[in-house]
Chain A
Amino acid sequence: AQSVTQLGSHVSVSEGALVLLRCNYSSSVPPYLFWYVQYPNQGLQLLLKYTSAATLVKGINGFEAEFKKSETSFHLTKPSAHMSDAAEYFCAVSDTNPSSASKIIFGSGTRLSIRP
């Protein structure tokens, strides 16, 4: 069975500081990995996805994530935090390219707060 574990339910950083949100996955097959962001009272927006191409994946809003198979990790980073980055972030895994046939398994989420 596939799963993801997000380390830290709440992360707080200062504006302009590095953002690092941690995610470890478990999968018996090569995984597809995702990071989603959820703003209050909204649905989920895809930040980026790993689909077995480049291990360093660049997403929207300056975020990127690196797939490390040896560490079973897919941590999300952003060099400089903005106040607008405050939101809930979810790491997720799927066993197939989530086209029309697969489900996505989500982590429990990490709430990112930005200090002025």
Chain B
Amino acid sequence: DAGVTQSPTHLIKTRGQQVTLRCSPKSGHDTVSWYQQALGQGPQFIFQYYEEEERQRGNFPDRFSGHQFPNYSSELNVNALLLGDSALYLCASSVSAGYTFGSGTRLTVV
């Protein structure tokens, strides 16, 4: 049984560009959450999607947006990239049994 799958694993973008990260949840999971983990810090909650709607959001600007598809997979979009957006982006899927995290996408903004 595959766990949470994220793509791509690594990405390099230039300031001002836009990026899309993708997440396929664990089989049977219907909720997807996204976290940003800057170097040397703990993960910070970005937002959570359930039934294709954003259900909760952390303290992130509107440049961060997302989407959930009918098959529960999800995308994280970041517009107008800043150097400070460089981080590991983690996706976590869940159902009643709790979270399962993916291995993340390492985004580097230059």
Instruction: Using CB atoms and an 8 Å cutoff, list the residues of chain A in contact with chain B.
Output: 36, 41-46, 49, 90, 92, 97-109
Contact = CB atoms under 8 A, between A and B. Distances in A.
Pairs of residues from A and B, 3 with the lowest C-beta to C-beta distance, nearest first: A106-B42, A43-B101, A44-B101
Interface string B42-67: 11110010100001101000000000
Contacts of B90: 43-44
Contacts of B7: none
B108 interface: no
Contacts of B41: 108-109
Interface of B: 4, 30-31, 33, 35, 40-45, 48, 50, 55-56, 58, 90, 92, 94-99, 101-104
Contacts of A99: 31, 94-98
B42 A103 contact: no
A45 B103 CA distance: 10
Contact of B56 (A43, A90, A103): A103
Say whether chain A's binding surface is mostly helix, strand, loop, or mixed. loop
Contacts, number: 61
B97 to A, nearest CB: 8
A1 to B, nearest CB: 11
A26 to B, nearest CB: 15
A81 B102 CA distance: 26
Contact of A45 (B45, B101, B104): B101
Given A44-B101, A46-B99, A103-B58, A90 B43 contact: yes
Contacts of B56: 101-103
Given A41-B103, A43-B101, A100 B96 contact: yes
B99 A100 contact: no
Given A98-B94, A100-B30, A100-B96, A105 B103 contact: no
A21 to B, nearest CB: 13
Given A43-B104, A100-B30, A100-B50, A109 B98 contact: no
Nearest to A99: B96
A113 B40 CA distance: 15
25 contacts: A36-B101, A41-B103, A42-B103, A43-B90, A43-B101, A44-B90, A44-B92, A49-B98, A90-B42, A99-B31, A99-B96, A99-B97, A100-B30, A100-B50, A100-B95, A102-B56, A103-B33, A103-B58, A105-B45, A106-B42, A106-B43, A106-B44, A107-B42, A109-B40, A109-B42
